[in-house]
Amino acid sequence: MSKRYTIEIPASAMKKTGFKSNEQLELNVNHNEITIRPSKVTDQLPRIKLYWYILPAILLTVSFFIFCRNHHMRTVPITGGYSIANGSMLLSLVSGLFVFVVSFIVTKLRNNGPTRNVYWRSLPTITIACGLIIAFSFSAFFWLLGKLFMDACFDIYTSTTFVFVIIALINYLMINLALTLTSGIITNLLTIMIIGGMLFSMLTNSTRDWWKHNFSFLGTSQNPANLQFNVTLIFSGLLMIALVDYLFVNLQRKYPGVKTQLLRWLLYGEAACIAAIGLFPNDPKFHILHDRISMWLVYIMLILIVAIRWILPEVTKQFLTISYVIGAVMGAEYIIFKLANYLSLTAFELIEFALSFSWLLLLLQNIENLAQYGEQLFLVKIRDDSTDETLVGTEKQPQDEAKS
């Protein structure tokens, strides 16, 4: 007979799962990780009723069809002024953001989903960020289709079908997002906003030699696509504030004190600087202010790296080592840029951005793990039934150790 093991799960964790005693569950082992979940796949997915996303899609698709008939359009091009691209993007934005907001509000009022830890003030920021991501994604997707199928057109019925499928798909994704919104998802939105927005600005920039100036050139009036770049930075900063709000709801409950508050306000300051760089681009009238804000962004980052040993609860040696290495590389790069004139200004700014943003994501991930202990993450034990020997686990939760 093969050996059997028992996993001891805390009662507080069981209450959050809704599992019942002797209920049959599915255990999945993948890369040294064990996941226990309901055996039915449908039980793992949010319960989204068909009419929640189909009904708005039908109403807006009918309006698209009527618009095309009134303009006597027998065929509709993929891209262009009156096209499938513009029609589906506009209608998907209206419908997708509407169902997202409604689903978010209903879930939060019922207090039965992860949105209960999201402040109401974060809703406009998250909604606009989702709208920008949809707009960027549609622009890139249909730009590619326009290159692959140049001058392609479809009849009005086929075009209407395409628009309906796209709107329904966006509605479903946005409802699912509202029902499963977590700090990890907000972090992904933040990453997509910053990286996607910058790449989109670079691709749509008609000044091909912008990199000979500096990275901030993308946000100046000399760049025709400066609006996308600046809006991306503004809402990336606001989205980061929403993420910090979300994370510190549980973190400050477990680790109250001045140090946690200081960490929170330093992150607020970092987010405010990111938004302000987009709000005050590097144009002549804002040049000095833009440079000052950029320097404060660097100063706050350095303060965080130096002080993280004392202000981040339960900080690990591995994260400290990574922090100091990144800080040293950033400092060395600055010295090389100033004294040796080895790097161009654009290269210097891009490398500094990549290092600081990577470290910031690592910091937010560490804070997320701390905030989830006792809420979504629990320490458990594995016992060998034949010897009653504990193989993995510990009695205390990390927050309990901090209090003792």
Q: By the 8 A CB rule, do 342 and 302 touch? A: no
| Element of type H or E holding 92 | helix 84-110
Predicted pLDDT at 16:
64
Which range (28-42, 110-124, 245-259, 336-350) has the least confidence?
28-42
- Interatomic CA distance for residues 167 and 53, integer angstroms: 8
**Confidence class of residue 404 from pLDDT cuts 50, 70 and 90?**
very low
Please name every residue paired with 8 in a beta bridge, in sequence order, or none if there are none. 381
Within 10 angstroms of residue 260's Cβ, the number of other Cβ atoms is 20
27: pLDDT strictly greater than 90: no
Q: What one-character DSSP code corresponds to residue 25?
A: E
Q: Which residues of 222-256 are buried (b: 16+ CB within 10 A; e: fewer)?
A: ebebbebbbbbbbbbbbbbbbbbbbbbebbeebbe
Give the range with max mean pLDDT: 88-102, 129-143, 287-301: 88-102
Provide the H-helix boundaries in 255-404.
Answer: 258-279, 287-311, 317-335, 345-372, 398-403
First to last CA, the chain: 43
Q: Which residues of 15-52 are buried (b: 16+ CB within 10 A; e: fewer)?
A: eeeeeeeeeeeeeeeeeeeeeeebeeeeeeeeebeeee
- Interatomic CA distance for residues 244 and 238, integer angstroms: 10
273: pLDDT strictly greater than 80: yes
Which residues lie closer than 8 Å to 4 by C-beta, 6 or more apart?
Answer: 385, 386
Question: What's the token pair of residue 180?
Answer: 């499963």
Backbone angles phi, psi at 256, to 5 degrees: -70, 150
Indicate the pTM of the whole model: 0.69
Least Cα distance to 364 among 321, 304, 306, 278 occurs for 304
CA distance readout (Å), 339 to 333, 335, 343: 10, 6, 10
Question: What's the token pair of residue 46?
Answer: 């949010």
* 293 against 40, higher pLDDT: 293
Classify 29 as helix, strand or coil.
strand
- Interatomic CA distance for residues 189 and 265, integer angstroms: 21
Q: Are strands 33-38 and 75-77 parallel, antiparallel or unpaired?
A: unpaired
Quick one: what percent of the chain has pLDDT higher than 70?
77
- 199-214 pLDDT, tens per residue? 666 666 555 655 555 6
Predicted pLDDT at 225:
65
Q: Which residues of 295-329 are buried (b: 16+ CB within 10 A; e: fewer)?
A: ebbeebbeebbeebeebbbebeeebeebbeebbee
- The per-type count for the chain, helices as H runs and strands as E runs, is 12, 7
CA distance readout (Å), 233 to 129, 154, 182, 186, 328: 11, 37, 22, 15, 26
111: pLDDT strictly greater than 60: yes
Please name every residue paired with 373 in a beta bridge, in sequence order, or none if there are none. 377
10: pLDDT strictly greater than 80: no
**Confidence class of residue 63 from pLDDT cuts 50, 70 and 90?**
very high
Within 10 angstroms of residue 82's Cβ, the number of other Cβ atoms is 12
- 119-177 pLDDT, tens per residue? 788 888 888 888 888 887 887 788 778 777 777 788 888 889 999 999 999 999 888 88
- Interatomic CA distance for residues 356 and 358, integer angstroms: 5
